[in-house]
Amino acid sequence: MANSSRNRAQRDQLEAVENPVGILRTTMAYNDQSMLCHFRMKKGAEIPLHHHPAAQNGYVVSGKIEFKTGDGTETFLAAAGSGYAFGPDEPHGANVLEDAEVIEVFSPMRPEYADN
């Protein structure tokens, strides 16, 4: 269980965390059940193949991202207006093809993202 929550926030009042290089995350709101994050992704940035216990749903506000799933050989393109979902512990990663802005929700919340 998380030992804290954030019920509301203004993005311009929070500091973004960069990890990995070129991926800037701002954790907007969360409780034990879910977490809302805003991402700014720079063209050329890569998110290595990984997995986590939380389900992940996303919406691409702007830009273009190539997502990798499974063993990394399966891919799909997500551009402005695209939505996507990864199940709990489903391997996924990404290559940022154009500067992008993304909104993602994790359920349950990811404690390691409660850092800004």
- CB neighbours (10 Å) of residue 47? 19
CA dist 26 → 12, 59, 91 (Å): 10, 15, 22
> CB count, 10 Å around CB of 82?
16
Q: Other C-beta atoms within 10 Å of 34: how many? A: 16
With beta carbons less than 8 A apart as the criterion, state whether 78 and 85 touch: no
Query: Residue 74 corresponds to which tokens in the numbers above?
Result: 């399966």
Model pTM score: 0.93
Give all domains of the chain, ordered by start, each with its CATH number. 11-113 (2.60.120.10)
Per-residue pLDDT of the chain (116 residues; tens, 9 = 90+): 444 799 999 999 999 999 999 999 999 999 999 999 999 999 999 999 999 999 999 999 999 999 999 999 999 999 999 999 999 999 999 999 999 999 999 999 999 999 88
